């Protein structure tokens, strides 16, 4: 069995164990983050039938997935990295989910291109829960206003919230904050948890786990 399949099976079992032990009702989807990994590294996951994959950059996703999607038509592709508004059209064309909606200009562009392409994308608002200067995201106190604008003015399909907790702090508190905000807005999904903290994210209701190295191993760059 390929190493990445062994890793995915181990993670799947661990997720189930956490859910059962804590009597949780969520069933989080595992997004295999494939940035920097070439197609031959991803193929075992595709051939196994794994459905959810994530990329950080438009050009890499375009080069890698345009061909792969011809052979694996049922996959769901997630944009999980910083998205510039001038790349919004390609993002709408390529991706089924966008996890990094973080400003009004980008929201407007996504809406514009969804209308042009007659396609709806499932979107997460990225929230800067710790108000870190180096990170993108809507400030926590501005999320409600931004959400209402996206829904009412732009008719975007906002399905949930996403965050990137501070690297040097316990992520649990920030997952809790995002969960509470999500419940306040009556949203169904949370994009929380990466390879280092997904076990904690599950406890706070994450429905999408963004896992790269835990599945595919250490990146070259």
Average pLDDT over residues 55-78: 94
Which structure tokens are listed for 140? 């926590």
Closest CA to 157 of 204, 107, 207, 193: 107
In which region does residue 208 sit, left (phi positive, over 0), alpha (psi from -120 to 50) or beta (all else)?
beta
DSSP helix/strand/coil, 198: helix
Core vs surface per residue 15-49: b (16+ CB within 10 A) or e? beebbeeeeeebebbbbbbbbebeeeebebbbeee
What does the domain layout of the chain look like in residue ranges? 3-216
Q: Where residue 218 falls among pLDDT bands split at 50, 70, 90?
A: confident
Q: Which fold is adopted by the domain 3-216?
A: TIM Barrel (3.20.20)
User: What is the reported pTM?
Assistant: 0.96
User: What is the per-residue pLDDT across 138-188, written as a single tens digit (0 to 9) for each?
Assistant: 999 999 999 999 999 999 999 999 999 998 889 999 999 999 999 999 999
User: What is the per-residue pLDDT across 98-154, written as a single tens digit (0 to 9) for each?
Assistant: 999 999 999 999 999 999 999 999 999 999 998 888 889 999 999 999 999 999 999
Residue 105 contacts residue 85 (beta carbons within 8 Å): yes
Which structure tokens are listed for 219? 């990146």
């Amino acid at each position: 069995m390929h190493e990445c399949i062994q890793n995915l099976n181990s993670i799947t079992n661990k997720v189930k164990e956490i859910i059962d032990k804590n009597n949780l009702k969520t069933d989080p989807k595992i997004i295999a983050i494939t940035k920097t990994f070439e197609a031959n590294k991803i193929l075992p996951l595709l051939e196994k039938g794994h459905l959810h994959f994530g990329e950080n950059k438009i050009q890499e996703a375009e080069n890698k997935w345009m061909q792969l999607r011809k052979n694996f038509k049922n996959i769901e592709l997630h944009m999980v990295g910083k998205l510039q508004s001038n790349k919004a059209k390609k993002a709408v064309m390529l991706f089924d989910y966008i996890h990094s909606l973080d400003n009004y200009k980008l929201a407007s562009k996504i809406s514009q291109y969804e209308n042009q392409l007659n396609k709806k994308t499932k979107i997460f608002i990225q929230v800067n829960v710790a108000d870190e200067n180096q990170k993108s995201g809507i400030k926590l106190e501005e999320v409600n206003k931004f959400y209402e604008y996206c829904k009412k003015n732009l008719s975007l399909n906002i399905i949930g919230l996403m965050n990137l907790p501070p690297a040097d702090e316990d992520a649990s508190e920030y997952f809790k904050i995002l969960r509470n905000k999500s419940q306040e807005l009556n949203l169904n999904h949370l994009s929380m948890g990466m390879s280092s903290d997904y076990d904690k994210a599950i406890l706070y209701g994450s429905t999408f786990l963004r896992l790269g190295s835990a599945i595919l191993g250490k990146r070259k760059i």
